[in-house]
Every structure is written in structure tokens, then in C-alpha cells.
Chains A and B, each alone.
Chain A
Amino acid sequence: MTQVAEPEAKRWVGGGILRKEDPELLTGQGRYVDDIALPGMLWLSFVRSPVAHATIANLDTAAAKELPGVLAVFTGQELAEEWAAAMPCAWPIGNRIMPEEPTNDARTPDHWPVAKGRVRFMGEIVAVVVADSREHAADAIEAVEVDYDELPVVTDMLDALEDGSQVIHDSLGSNEAYTWGMSNGDVDRVFAEAPVVVKERYYHPRLIPNAIEPRGVVVQPIPAQGEFTLWSATQIPTSSRSCWPSRSISTRPRSGWSPPMSAEGSAPS
């Protein structure tokens, strides 16, 4: 039998190529957001709601402000005047994901960085502590006192659409975010001509991205330039950037700092 030289392509396709980024990751030289330490860096910690739906009856930050190392404690009401608008939705259904099949009825409720008077999901931020160390920031959130008047909760998608269901965002009048119909080709004809038609209702689970690297953000203000540099443990740096005020952000991908690595995934978008 004639010996055939192995095709050149085998070196790459199916060839088990060693990754260029591995040596630094294997030797502890990886650089993640938590590895960034800046001179004078301050730490934020967040008081989060333990209940899914409630009005905030009382929110007392006085004791927390007295603790060592605490520079400030803010509630949503106190910060409200600083915010020009609610946070943008990074993935509005329709116009970005499926440009050919937009939904015209998509409704996005206002989403504020810190709750203003009412919490609408468990874990919603109700107060922010600024402190000079991780430990002082963690201590101070324990000293913030919050009283919640609990409201009815909605934990099932279909129940949420029932008449009389507790409406979570009053301004929308109902809990329906949108109806998103998708089709491709002549669907009616295909069903009409199909030898068997199976009808079923499918449920999609809630998606919870849960990378091992905790969520983290480091921000370095550069007041003289009216800019800031932001390092974020995100898989989607460019999408994230489009959500920030574009004139006031500088990501400086290769000058000074390298962009941190991200454990969230390996395909920045």
C-alpha cells in the first residue's frame, strides 16, 4: 500500500492546537476584575431586598454612616435626582434580535439602579454603601435598617397574565411584556399538508448565567477628561458599552491596562 503523507490541514483541524492564553492562566498570571487594585480605590456594597414585592416602609442608614471606613450610604430616593433616565434594556426584543420580525407591543418598565420606595424582585438593591475596604463595606450593609410592607407576589408566568393578577409595574397596567410571534415560510400550508400534526405547549426555563467568577466592576474616573475607564467581568463588553453614556466612557483596550479576563465565556460580543 502506498504511504500517503498526512495532509497539511490535519495540523490545524482536529490537530489539538495548544492555546496561546494557557501559560498565563496556568501559572496564576490571569488578570480578572478582582485582581485590579487602584490607588485610593473604594468599595461598594449593596443592601438587597430579601422579599420579592414590597413597599419600603422605613429605610434608616444613619447607623451605617457612623461605622469606621464608611464614606457614604445612599438610598434610591437620595440618588433619584442624579439619574437622567432609567437603565436601558440591553436586549430589547424585536428590533435587535429579530429585525425582520419586530414586536410592536414590547413594553419595558423603568429599571432604576436602586429601588425607589418599592421593590419588585428578591435581591433588588435598596441601598448602596461606599467604604474604604471590602470588609468595611460588608460590615456597613448589616447596619442599614429596612422595614418592608410586603405585597402579593407573582411567581408563575401564566398566573401573571390572569385578570386580577397583582400588577408589578403599575404604569404598564398588566404584567404582559410582549407577544412575539415568529414564523418562517408558509407555516399554514406546511401544517395543512403534514401527515401528522403534534400540538404541544413548551416552557422555557429562566436563564441564569452563573459563571464561577463573581460579577464585578472596577471604575476609574478621569475627571479632567470627563471620562472613566471601566473594567467589567462580562462576556459582552461591547454590548455593555453601548448601554453606558457613550461620550463618557473610554475602554482603552490596549493602552495602560489590558482588558481583564472574563470567566463568563470566551466570545466577547
Chain B
Amino acid sequence: MRRIALTVNGVRREAEVEPRLLLVYFLRETLGLTGTNVGCDTSSCGACTVMMDGKSVKSCTVLAVQADGAEITTIEGLASDGQLHPLQESFRKNHGLQCGFCTPGMIMAGLGLIESGAGMEEEEVRLGLEGNLCRCTGYQNIVKAIQEAAGEMRQAAPAAAPQPAAVQGGSE
């Protein structure tokens, strides 16, 4: 067993974990944050995407011990004071979800993409989401939702605005 300490959605958490425990199961089963879903366990589907130190990662491919000392944000950490995050609001308005299973991962991957300063043309967003699968076939509205939220978020916080627009090949 290894002792880890990390910050999850702004709260410091400590735990003894098995070295083989995956970050996603630490979040879901140790902390009870079941908003992050497991779709494939093999890095294929992206349903488990969370933010780790400002970058989107697939939490089924990160060991909990690797997240020692990290800052993690999950889907539960986005809304505040009863207000949806602009990405959540945009997914809702643009009907970027049906069953909702891929949605937490899509939103976190979208957040990673926006915060990376990547370009937000349709092709760029689609490429940026290549690591996230939706099985209700809703990519059209997911892309629209992320583009719209990006406009709003970058206007609100111009400091985080575009660095040279290297297109990101999916979440890490």
C-alpha cells in the first residue's frame, strides 16, 4: 500500500492505495465521485477523462499513485453555486448529449482542449476529440457545444487565449 495526497475538486484528499489502483477507481470507489465513467478500461473511449494539473487525461490509464500531489478536476467540480459551468450550459443548450455516459469525459476533454489554447475550427475540435467516443452518434452537437463554450470562456478570460494553435491529437 502507498500513501497518496492530492487535491480533487479543490479538496485535499489522502488515502492508502494499492499500487495497481487506477485513478478512475480511486475517484469512483474511494472518493465516491461516480460522475467519471468507465466505458472500456483500455484508453479507447475517453469516458473517464478528467483534468490533471491543467491537462485532460484518461483516468483509466493513470495509476492513483501517479496522481500523488496532483490537482484533479472531475465533472463534479465544474458547476459552482448551483450555476452550470459554461461548457455544461453549452452542452445543454446545444443538445450535446443523449444517454449522458460519454458526457463527463467529453466535457473534460473539451475543457482540456479549450485551456490548451488549441484552435476551435470544427476540424480542430473534431481532431481534439478523437480520443472520446459517443455511441449515441452525437458528435455534431458536441463539437458545436465546445466551440460555443470556447468563444464564451476565452472572451471572459482573454489571458487564457490562443497560444500558437498547435492542434492537439486527442486528450492524453
Contacts and interface: CB of A to CB of B under 8 A. Distances in A.
A and B: real partners?
yes
Interface of A: 16, 18-19, 21-23, 25-32, 34-35, 37, 134-135, 210-214, 261-266
Interface string B85-96: 000100111010
Contacts, number: 93
Interface of B: 18, 20, 25, 28-29, 33-40, 45, 47, 74-76, 78-79, 84, 88, 91-93, 95, 97-104, 107, 133-136
A263 B20 contact: no
Given A34-B37, A214-B39, A27 B99 contact: no
Contact of A26 (B34, B37, B92, B135): B92
A32 B39 CA distance: 11
Given A19-B95, A34-B38, A37-B29, A25 B103 contact: yes
Contacts of B75: 26-28
A43 to B, nearest CB: 12
14 contacts: A19-B95, A25-B97, A25-B100, A25-B103, A26-B92, A28-B34, A32-B34, A34-B34, A34-B38, A134-B25, A211-B101, A212-B101, A214-B39, A261-B99
A71 B24 CA distance: 26
B65 to A, nearest CB: 15
A190 B18 CA distance: 71
Please give me the 10 A-B residue pairs with the lowest Cβ-Cβ distance, nearest first.
A28-B35, A25-B100, A28-B75, A263-B101, A35-B34, A212-B135, A263-B99, A26-B88, A28-B76, A212-B39
A211 B33 contact: no
B104 A28 contact: yes
Contacts of B135: 210-212, 263
Given A18-B93, A28-B33, A28-B74, A261 B100 contact: yes
Contact of B101 (A18, A21, A29, A30): A30
Given A32-B37, A34-B37, A263-B135, A26 B103 contact: yes
Contacts of B102: 212
A37 B47 CA distance: 20
Nearest to B94: A16
B35 A30 contact: yes
Contacts of B40: 212, 214
B38 A27 contact: no
B132 to A, nearest CB: 10
Contacts of A211: 99, 101, 135
Nearest to B107: A26
A22 B84 CA distance: 11
B11 to A, nearest CB: 15
Given A27-B79, A28-B76, A212 B133 contact: yes
Contacts of B98: 266
Given A34-B28, A211-B101, A261-B101, 7 more contacts: A23-B92, A26-B97, A32-B34, A211-B135, A212-B101, A212-B133, A263-B101
